[in-house]
A and B are shown apart, each in its own frame.
Chain A
């Protein structure tokens, strides 16, 4: 009840002044004050600023303001005395308030601190802390006490805080029931706070008193204890002594423990990896590299550049987010089981298949499922590829196994054994050769092991980490070695064994170290070879097959660089080079045939992983088969360029001697035959012919297996097939060749062809073009458009100035009116005063006159 009353009472006084002020917020309070400017028409886009106004209120405000300022000035217009604030630094704006206070305080101190007597030296100003004399504080410097004091001091009483920080209402609410009855009148806030302060001070004082009591008690206790101590003196010292002794002399063990505790802990060294882990890591690395290789083979990265989505949909947040990969796994089946990506399961399978599966295919499938799992699940068609990929996977796997063995001792050990004899005689350091001649001089005349050792030592002596220019030296060394390889290949007979070792060891390692310069060097030798051929072609239209060196270079290219890339800066030119070899060089001799077959092998090896199609290869093999059959006019039409249907070399590989054919043993072709100038005997030549034919057939079979899946395989294979049938019809060939022919033919026939009509990919419908609206900044409607920015700004300023000017004029006019009104009212007041005074005078005079007349009448009467 009381509370409700109070609230009302409090609101009343606050409500009254608000009404008087008449702020715009309270516009609704008095409807008579509101003036509405009625609009005749609603106009879209026009801002109405003056539709509602409070003229009375604003006029009152203006009037008040004038009375406060203008009127004051007017009234003091003739006065000349001024109020001046002489406080220190009051008008000095360069000083901060703190400085001002400090200065003022200092001045105050100076003013008050006139020494009472010059002779009293001890009289000093009293230093205080928190209003307490420091001298007092020094007296009781108890630590415990100060601690507790500090604690206490920090804490404010709940009431105090409540009063200070917005808890006033509650506080009031708490107190009113007690005090409401005693005191009808509510306490003001100020009173409340004063009360609080007084209370807290009282509490503090009480606490201090308590503490002093406690202090006194402890002192008293101490004194009592000292008195009793004398009685116990004979017993206690011992224990005290022991304590004292133990402390300064810590145990050696403890010291040790402490020391050990503070000693820097050795970093935990990484655990030696077990054999299995190493292998696993290696496998992981290889798998990653293989994935990278696959990506390059498919030429994905190039496509990605192109495939950037050009169209942005209306829903695009333009935050650069593109859903580029579908992470969802595609459900795939294998061997009738669902293909789940779980290594455990696969490994089990692998083991099982290894144990049980004797056949190659079984094992491969198991392996590949373990290895290629991720790929498989990523790409839906890889399962299709898997069947044709078996060979490549086999190759993939083997190196992994070998790799596992080599890091241990394989490479080094073999090398050591080989070079043991040579080691003693050779110097241990070799300067890196600056020119090819130097290298040649170093290597020439040494044995294979020595040569290897020399190159290896050169490489070790100029390791790039050893000196500044070593990198360039080694980069050059690669070029020199390549040149040396070319020289070796040109020798008769070619030093193929040295090349063999050099390639494995040095070239590969150097290439791994400096890919850029190595690729440049290889490109250089390839360009040389191509240039030579091109010159010949331009002159004659054809060129003889280049020497063995070029073939070796091409082979090395294949060893150093990944041949399966969609595009590779070195391998792609090398492929073009190979294509030139097979299309532009006529086969004139047995050597040419051997070289050509080697080129075919290279070509096949280049595409072994990527399974790409090589028309030249098919043509060449067709040609080889053709020159191995006696001429038949009907077959010539399908033959292409380097081979001729009729002519001198059109029966180059035909073996007429039955006896030679009978004695032939299937063997591998020797590369020496490719360059050997030695003329073989007729039997040897016949054997070489048969070997060439065998290689050609084997390669053909490989091609058939590889290209069997191509869409127009039968069109590709038709001429080959016709020739093979011819071959078979002839019985003069050895049995192995006939078997090879037969198996190739069956392979060809077994390739089932499905001719599904081609269809284009459906192109997405072209979306309508959406235009983003053009935004034009409209500063003001009407006049100020269509000019430059500066012009607009100028106009705006002119307009503003005009408005301000008008406003000022109006103000001045109003001021004058106000003043005139004031003067008028003053005059009126003065006039009224005079009138009143005159009236008064007249009045008094009239009274006087009346009195006088009355007196006179009285006198007269008398």
Chain B
């Protein structure tokens, strides 16, 4: 066989072979040539071959020239003395099978175009196979879906080696169809089980790919009136599992639980926890099953704990979960770094949410207020401007805690009874203490902080101060605000004349620094 140079030549040659194969069954051996090109190194050629395969097998599937039913082995059929037509069909089915396998491999090809094309072709085959099933229906109206083929697709998508995020975002549009979504969830479970069994140390890319796929799956909120199927069906049946949201939910739950029961990398924990409260929990059949995962995440510390607490809070709040250590864990999260981390706004938003109930015991709220006040002694002004109203809000919500700022005839104490080292808020003796920290902060150098801390000097006003606009406050914003504020005219000036850059000999700078 002559080979013409270049992609155009290849295309022409492939086209000729395709026509030959489709025209007469005697030319069927040309399929090998086409399949051989699929193994090529050249990207262009592969694309051409994939397109040719797509057309070829698409046509064969439509014509029904592929063997239907349990596929016997090739040698057995060839040696057997069945009809030539059956032999041809079985043989062609084997070619189709190898073609699909090759396409599955191509999903891991370095070139994105090839990947995309392979995915498209495979999905086309899935569609065609759904319409013209390659297995015999067991009974009338039996729901048939090319599950093996689809598993191949999902397996290719969840590659352990390669980052498939682009391809997955392509795949996302197929997930709008109910059947694809359902089978994806089931296939994902299989794939995860297979891969984790296969590798002793699962590579993080696999987890990332899996997470991408899983997070792309979103169930409809209520039972859809008209289900949309990727595989065109002539008549729909109520007996099909794929048509019920309940089954979807079950599949969804199985998928996530199977995924989360494995040991995931920390970054992935974070990603999962960020979406857990609004994308995963509401769609599970039994949300309380997530508790294992959440408690595990809770022990990790830092931002993860906080996010896990958010999930737990939803379980407690909406699903009646009993979790006695919740506030203790939240209390444990309060350490000096909380004012300096990036997720500060989220933390305090959630903390505000968690502590919004007016039915919390006074000792608990007092412990939180005292702890926050203690931590405020190390906080920068932008955090102080937020946390001071936060503390005052706590006191407003819980009048029993007002003794922290107003204890008219209390005895004078030698030391603060509050125990900062105690982990249990109940044992911290915060209610016996007072918020002296706020009194200290009244002498803070920034005027607004000083004012915010001075609120406790008067009886607290009734309405709470909304801290939502203060959550995202940054030092730069404070700086800009201070710069723009109109001051007294004229600007007050230093009346002592300057005595050099470092000031007078007695000044701090001059004591410790020299210019030379």
Chain A residues proximal to chain B, CB less than 8 Å = 286, 289, 292-293, 296, 299, 301, 394-395, 398-399, 402-403, 406, 496-497, 499-501, 503-504, 507-508, 511-512, 515-516, 518-519, 523, 526-527, 530-531, 533-534, 537, 541, 552, 555-556, 559-563, 565-570, 572-573, 575-577, 579-580, 583-584, 597-598, 601-602, 604-608, 610-616, 618-619, 637-641, 668-672, 695, 698-699, 702, 710-716, 753-761, 763
Contacts and interface: CB of A to CB of B under 8 A. Distances in A.
B439 interface: yes
Contact of B445 (A289, A402, A496, A575): A575
A556 B485 CA distance: 21
B405 A758 contact: yes
Pairs A-B, 4 closest by C-beta atoms: A569-B487, A641-B340, A757-B410, A757-B407
B499 to A, nearest CB: 7
A495 B507 CA distance: 21
A562 B496 CA distance: 9
13 contacts: A508-B498, A569-B487, A572-B446, A601-B512, A605-B503, A605-B508, A619-B378, A641-B337, A671-B513, A711-B439, A712-B437, A755-B413, A758-B456
A733 B489 CA distance: 52
Nearest to A695: B512
B1 interface: no
Which interface residue of B384, B479, B485 has the most chain A CB atoms within 10 A?
B479
A409 to B, nearest CB: 15
A292 B495 CA distance: 11
B406 A511 contact: no
B491 interface: yes
Contacts of A496: 501, 515-516
Contact of A671 (B405, B506, B515): B515
Given A398-B506, A759-B406, A670 B514 contact: yes
Given A568-B487, A569-B487, A712-B377, A755 B415 contact: yes
B443 A611 contact: yes
Interface string B444-487: 11110010000011110000000000000011101110110111
Contacts of A618: 377-378
B458 A562 contact: no
A394 B498 contact: no
A572 B482 contact: yes
Contacts of B249: none
Contacts, number: 270
A615 B377 contact: yes
Given A671-B515, A758-B439, 8 more contacts: A394-B506, A568-B487, A576-B446, A598-B509, A613-B441, A669-B512, A758-B406, A758-B435
Contacts of A402: 499
B492 A575 contact: no
Interface in B316-353: 335-337, 339-340, 342
A760 B458 contact: yes
B395 to A, nearest CB: 11
Given A504-B498, A763-B458, A668 B513 contact: yes
A177 B374 CA distance: 111
Contacts of A641: 337, 340
Contacts of B439: 711-712, 758
A293 B476 CA distance: 28
B506 A758 contact: no
B508 A699 contact: yes
Given A289-B495, A579-B380, A712-B437, A606 B406 contact: no
Contacts of A712: 377, 416, 436-437, 439-440
A760 B500 contact: no
A615 B380 CA distance: 7
B494 interface: yes
A811 to B, nearest CB: 76
Interface of B is mostly: loop
A561 B491 contact: yes
A556 B509 CA distance: 12
A753 B379 CA distance: 23
A759 B407 contact: yes
B83 interface: no
A792 to B, nearest CB: 48
B490 A516 contact: yes
A608 B504 CA distance: 13
Given A299-B447, A668-B511, A716 B440 contact: yes
Nearest to A674: B513
A573 B512 CA distance: 25
B208 interface: no
A716 B377 contact: yes
B404 interface: yes
B342 A541 contact: yes
Contact of A711 (B420, B440, B447, B450): B440
Given A559-B503, A601-B508, A715-B437, A515 B490 contact: yes
Contacts of A301: 488
B104 interface: no
Contacts of A614: 444-445
B493 interface: yes
Contacts of A566: 447, 450
A671 B480 CA distance: 29
Contacts of B500: 500-501, 503-504
Contacts of B342: 541
Given A398-B506, A715-B374, A668 B440 contact: no
A576 B478 contact: yes
Nearest to B432: A757
B497 interface: yes
Contacts of B414: 753, 755
A637 B494 contact: no
B434 A758 contact: yes
Interface in B16-49: none
Given A552-B501, A712-B377, A607 B445 contact: yes
A301 B514 CA distance: 38
Nearest to B460: A760
Contact of A758 (B336, B376, B407): B407
A515 B488 CA distance: 11
A499 B20 CA distance: 90
